[in-house]
């Protein structure tokens, strides 16, 4: 099969071929969680479809001409692209593989008799499946793309499946998805599809392994009857259970669940019906189910080493996990005092305090009246409202819960939001001035006086160790720059992959300026906002499997283990024109006055490689104001660090992910041995200590930019003890890391004094 994969052939690092959602499903299969059987129509199939139909250039042109802030133009562009996709035929090789794999899915674990084969040929008795999107930009750690793409439930038969495939492909270009992609800095995206056996859900729900609104370290489970669509769309008030990670049910709120969506056995269609009267206010989950869901959620959180947003379904007392993705937002906390009496109460799901004018939206025809700074009040948001939501100062809905669409998207957009008010659209009038406190879920009439207690920041929180950030895209920079001392890792490969074009193709076609523009479009805005704080730019470090799905990426070398293959500085030295172009982009920035941009060479194993890179820098006349450092990701670099210091490196940053992998001989893509991956292994600590102490001896800045400080805060005390200069972490770990560094520095000082 060229275009199809089964879930067990995917892992969490298969996002480029299977999309984010399918990659996570494949990972869950590998670690033994109960996932419904499915196959994936890969991004390769969609890319082939665009190639054969010849519409790729038309789509690119339409998107380049579209102003996403112009709603009517955005809708028109979306319609043209979707109509164009739906008008095309699926190429025969892809159609044939879909049909064959669908039949295999339908009859897996069955002895197919001659009678059954006749039924297959007649197109009967095929599995009822769901067809779900799995875009390459979906379910990422930085953006969920919640509700942006199409899902089709209770699909049966080859014709209906093929129709659903085209509709799902077309949904990559829904107006809301185009808008969301542009706003999150994703210039290019492809899409895979998951064809999965339907779970005839009697119960369904969502789990958060941390409270996404407050940051509290508890598990929140919300559930309802039937399919989960009603919960995610906010159409019902679900049951809500708050559970400690030790298994204690801390709080139960039983919601009023008046409607449910189920499969109609007569037609095999999804229908919406009233919940039987005796079940409307009945608790959905048993205590045993709550604890089993807690167990699954903690397995996922521990495996991914960060908070997870999980969907589940229950049929005949069996739990199925339908998807997991990283919680993409960091909770904000602020103490405020408002002495006025609230006029309405709901559930605060995205914190903040805002005063503004009400704009009531009953349907999509009303969106044109929403102006920047308005407070949007509606029954419930839908994905189609995302472009409008971005203009608003705040959002209020009648329906919904912590896990509904409005909650997820408003948190990602950093917009204060209160859901579940029941009467917001009835109580308020257009133009009415109100104040919203979504920390507490309270709404006040008019503009009210807000008191913020003066909080004196302890001097100790001004840490000696610098705190930097790992970043890939220029978004939400103003908030980040206030909290950090610079960028410890700027990944350029994400910008390249999002462009959709292989950089070697651009260089080979004498389009070097296009490559430079791709780089500058990402680096320049980050460097400007952070100036004069340093920005360390890692030169190209994309693996061959990440490049393969780009335009002209078919020629990429096939490697058994790309993580130990042709990437990092070894590839840059083999293709020096690429490295020269990257150096030229940084040279331009220095000529513009952005002298805070510096170069970091990845996956380096020898001083000779460093010398060769410096020679190329000299050839392009890279200014002396550009500092050149290395990433320490293999034992040879850690052991030879003194030689690198003598050769003149300006800084060294420990890439803990790869250093752990190469030191312990553990493939971090291999779920069977993932338990051996340990950044705190004695060998790792010795290597890191050597790097830091030698760098200090030669007055070279030492840093770390891997996942270890974000995922394993306990490692920080060792780094502080060794005397590391800076620690660079993911955006969502900045505040937590500052506190850990402060405590570690304090403890280290006490030890010195004693």
Residue 269 neighbours by CB distance under 10 Å? 12
Enumerate the β-bridge partners of residue 41: 4, 193
pLDDT of residue 471: 87
Q: Which helix (H) or strand (E) holds 324?
A: strand 318-326
Torsion of Cα atoms, 432 then 438 then 444 then 449, to 10°: -110
In DSSP notation, 172-198 reads GG-HHHHHHHHHTT-----EEEEEEEP
Find all residues with CB under 8 Å of 594, minimum gap 6, and list them.
524, 527, 528, 531
Determine, yes or no, domain membership for 631.
Answer: yes
Torsion of CA 214, 215, 217, 219, to 10 degrees: 70
340 in any annotated domain: no
Other beta carbons within 10 Å of 50: 18
pTM of the entire predicted model: 0.55
CA dist 731 and 605 (Å) reads 29
Please check whether residue 356 is in contact with residue 393, taking contact to mean a CB–CB distance below 8 angstroms: yes
d(CA 323, CA 746): 42
E strand map for 339-401: 344-345, 347-350, 353-361, 375-378, 394-397
d(CA 19, CA 140): 9
Determine the distance from the C-alpha atom of residue 22 to the mean position of all C-alpha atoms in its chain, rounded to a whole number. Answer: 13
Q: End-to-end alpha-carbon separation of the chain, Å? A: 67
175 shares its domain with 232 = no
Whether residue 192 sits in one domain with residue 210? no
In DSSP terms, 132 is beta-bridged to 151, 194
Identify the CATH number of the domain in which residue 687 sits: 3.20.20.60
Are the CB atoms for 491 and 519 separated by under 8 Å? no
- What tokens appear for 113 in the block? 């008799």
Q: Which element (helix H / strand E) includes 131?
A: strand 129-135
Tell me, yes or no, whether 332 lies in a domain: no
| Domain annotation covers residue 732 | yes
- Whether 321 and 360 map to the same domain: the answer is no
The Cα–Cα gap between 520 and 510 comes to 18
In a domain, 336, yes or no: no
CB–CB of 281/256 below 8 Å? yes
Kindly state whether residues 632 and 684 are assigned to the same domain: yes
pLDDT tens-digit readout, 187-211: 567 899 999 999 989 999 999 998 8
* DSSP label of 126: P
CB atoms within 10 A of CB 73: 14
Last residue of a domain, one of 422, 451, 480: 451
| Cα–Cα distance for residue pair 155/215, rounded to 1 Å | 38
What are the structure tokens assigned to 178, written together? 């185009």
Does an H or E element contain 171, and which?
none
Which residue, among 387, 421, 419, has the nearest Cα to 406 in the 3D structure?
419
- The domain boundary, picked from 426, 451, 476, lies at 451
**If you count them, how many residues does the chain have?**
754
Give yes or no: residues 185 and 228 share one domain: no
Q: CB-based contacts of 521: which residues, under 8 Å, 6+ apart?
A: 495
> Torsion angle of alpha carbons 398, 402, 405, 408, nearest 10°?
130
Joined together, the tokens standing for residue 87 give 């008008």
Are β-strands 337-338 and 450-451 bridged in parallel, bridged antiparallel, or unpaired?
antiparallel
**Collapsing DSSP states into helix, strand and coil, what is residue 243?**
strand
DSSP string, 636-658: HHHHTHHHHHHHT-SEEEE-HHH
Q: Are 311 and 213 within one domain? A: yes
Strands 318-326 and 219-225 turn out to be unpaired
CATH number at residue 153: 3.30.1490.20
Query: DSSP assignment, residue 597?
Result: E
- Residue 322 burial (CB count, 10 A): 22
Assess contact for 461 and 742: CB atoms under 8 A.
Answer: yes
Please indicate whether residue 405 is annotated as part of the active site. Answer: yes
Catalytic position from the list 66, 392, 404, 705: 705
Q: Are residues 591 and 512 in the same domain?
A: yes
The dihedral over CA atoms of 323, 325, 329, 335, expressed in degrees to the nearest 10, equals 60
Residues 308 and 386 in one domain: no
321/375 same-domain check: no
- Per the CB < 8 A criterion, the answer to whether 653 and 705 are in contact is yes
Give the C-alpha distances (Å, rounded to integers) separating 210 from 110, 243, 460.
Answer: 41, 10, 28
334 is a domain residue: no
Asked if residue 338 is part of any domain, the answer here is no
Q: Is 159 helix (H, G, I), strand (E, B) or coil?
A: helix
Using the Cα atoms of residue 719, residue 720, residue 722 and residue 726 in order, give the sign of their dihedral.
positive
Return the pLDDT at 212.
75
Q: Find the CATH number of the domain harbouring 306.
A: 3.30.470.20
- Does residue 423 share a domain with residue 562? no
Q: Tell me: do 162 and 230 sit in the same domain.
A: no
How many angstroms separate the CA atoms of 655 and 665, rounded? 15
- Report strand pairing: 651-654 vs 353-361: unpaired
Question: Which of 190, 192, 215, 252 shows the shortest CA–CA distance to 332?
Answer: 215
pLDDT of amino acid 256: 86
339 found inside a domain: no
Range of the domain at 430: 345-451
**In this structure, what CATH number is given to the domain that contains residue 412?**
3.50.30.10
- Angstrom distance (rounded) from CA 411 to CA 144: 11
Q: Considering just the CA atoms, what is the radius of gyration of the chain in Å?
A: 27
Written as six digits, the tokens of 668 are: 């971090």
Spans in the chain with pLDDT lower than 50: 110-114, 117, 123, 137-147, 454-460, 750-751, 753-754
Number of domains within the chain? 4
What would the pLDDT profile of 500-514 be if each residue is shown by its tens digit?
A: 778 877 887 788 898
Q: Cβ contacts of residue 346 below 8 Å, gap of 6+?
A: 396, 397, 418, 419, 420, 421, 422, 424, 441, 443
Given this model, what pLDDT does residue 129 score?
A: 93
User: What CA–CA distance (Å, rounded) separates 159 from 172?
Assistant: 21
The one catalytic residue in 184, 303, 405, 598 is 405
Do 222 and 187 sit in the same domain of this protein?
no
Element (H, E) at 310: strand 308-315
Six token digits for residue 252: 């139960």
Q: Where is 624: in which H helix or E strand?
A: none
């Amino acid at each position: 099969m060229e275009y199809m994969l089964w879930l067990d052939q995917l892992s969490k690092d298969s996002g480029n071929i299977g999309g984010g959602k399918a990659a996570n499903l494949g990972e869950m299969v590998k670690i033994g969680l109960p996932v419904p059987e499915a196959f994936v129509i890969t991004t390769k199939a969609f890319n082939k479809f665009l190639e054969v139909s010849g519409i790729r250039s038309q789509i690119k042109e339409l998107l380049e001409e579209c102003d996403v802030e112009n709603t009517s133009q955005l809708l028109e562009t979306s319609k043209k692209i979707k109509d164009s996709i739906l008008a095309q035929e699926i190429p025969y090789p892809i159609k044939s593989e879909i049909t064959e794999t669908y039949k295999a899915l339908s009859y897996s674990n069955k002895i197919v008799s001659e009678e059954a084969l006749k039924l297959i040929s007649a197109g009967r008795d095929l599995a009822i499946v769901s067809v779900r999107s799995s875009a390459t930009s979906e379910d990422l750690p930085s953006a969920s793309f919640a509700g942006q793409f199409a899902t089709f439930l209770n699909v049966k038969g080859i014709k209906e499946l093929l129709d659903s495939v085209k509709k799902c492909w077309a949904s990559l270009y829904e107006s809301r998805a185009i808008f969301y992609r542009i706003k999150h800095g994703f210039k290019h995206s492809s899409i895979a599809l998951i064809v999965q056996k339907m779970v005839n859900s009697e119960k369904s729900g969502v789990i958060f392994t941390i409270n996404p609104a407050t940051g509290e370290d508890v598990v929140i489970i919300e559930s309802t009857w039937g399919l989960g669509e009603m919960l995610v769309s906010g159409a019902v008030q679900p049951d809500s259970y708050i559970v400690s990670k030790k298994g204690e049910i801390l709080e139960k709120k039983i919601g009023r669940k008046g409607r449910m969506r189920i499969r109609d056995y007569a037609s095999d269609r999804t229908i919406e019906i009233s919940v039987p009267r005796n079940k409307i206010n009945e608790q959905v989950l048993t205590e045993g189910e709550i604890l089993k869901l807690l167990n699954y959620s903690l397995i996922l959180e521990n495996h991914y080493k960060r908070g997870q947003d999980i969907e589940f379904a229950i049929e005949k007392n069996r739990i199925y996990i339908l998807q997991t993705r990283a919680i993409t937002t960091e909770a904000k906390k602020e103490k405020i005092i408002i002495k006025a009496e609230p006029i309405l109460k709901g559930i605060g799901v995205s914190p903040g305090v805002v005063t503004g004018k009400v704009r009531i939206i009953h349907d999509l025809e009303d969106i044109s009246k929403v102006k920047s700074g308005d407070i949007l009040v509606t029954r419930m948001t839908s994905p189609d409202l995302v472009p409008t939501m971005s203009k608003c100062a705040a959002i209020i809905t009648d329906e919904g819960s912590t896990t509904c669409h409005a909650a997820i998207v408003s948190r990602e957009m950093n917009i204060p939001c209160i859901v579940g008010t029941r009467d917001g659209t009835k109580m308020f009038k257009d133009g009415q001035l109100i104040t919203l406190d979504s920390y507490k879920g309270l709404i006040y009439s008019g503009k009210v006086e807000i008191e913020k207690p003066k909080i004196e920041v302890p001097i100790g929180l001004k840490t000696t160790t610098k705190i930097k950030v790992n970043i890939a895209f220029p978004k939400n920079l103003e908030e980040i720059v206030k909290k950090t001392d610079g960028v410890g890792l700027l990944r350029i490969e994400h910008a390249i992959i999002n462009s959709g074009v292989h950089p070697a193709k651009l260089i080979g076609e004498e389009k070097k300026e296009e490559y430079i523009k791709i780089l500058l479009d990402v680096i320049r805005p980050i460097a400007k906002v952070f100036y004069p704080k340093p920005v360390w730019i890692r030169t190209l470090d994309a693996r061959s499997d990440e490049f393969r799905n780009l335009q002209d990426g078919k020629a990429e070398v096939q490697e058994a283990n790309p993580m130990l293959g042709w990437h990092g500085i070894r590839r840059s030295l083999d293709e020096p024109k690429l490295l020269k172009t990257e150096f030229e982009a940084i040279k331009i920035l220095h000529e513009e006055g952005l002298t805070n941009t510096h170069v970091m060479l990845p996956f380096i194993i020898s001083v000779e490689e460093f010398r060769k890179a410096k020679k190329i820098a000299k050839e392009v006349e890279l200014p002396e104001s550009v500092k050149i450092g290395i990433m320490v990701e293999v034992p040879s670099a850690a052991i030879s660090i003194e030689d690198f210091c003598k050769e003149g490196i300006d800084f060294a940053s420990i890439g803990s992910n790869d250093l752990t992998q190469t030191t312990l001989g553990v493939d971090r893509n291999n779920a069977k041995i993932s338990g051996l991956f340990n950044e705190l292994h004695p060998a790792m600590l010795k290597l890191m200590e050597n790097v830091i102490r030698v760098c200090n001896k030669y007055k070279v800045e030492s840093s770390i930019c891997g996942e270890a400080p974000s995922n394993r805060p306990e490692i920080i005390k060792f780094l502080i003890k060794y005397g590391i200069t800076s620690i660079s972490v993911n955006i969502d770990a900045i505040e937590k890391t500052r506190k850990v560094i402060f405590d570690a520095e304090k403890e280290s000082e006490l030890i010195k004094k004693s």
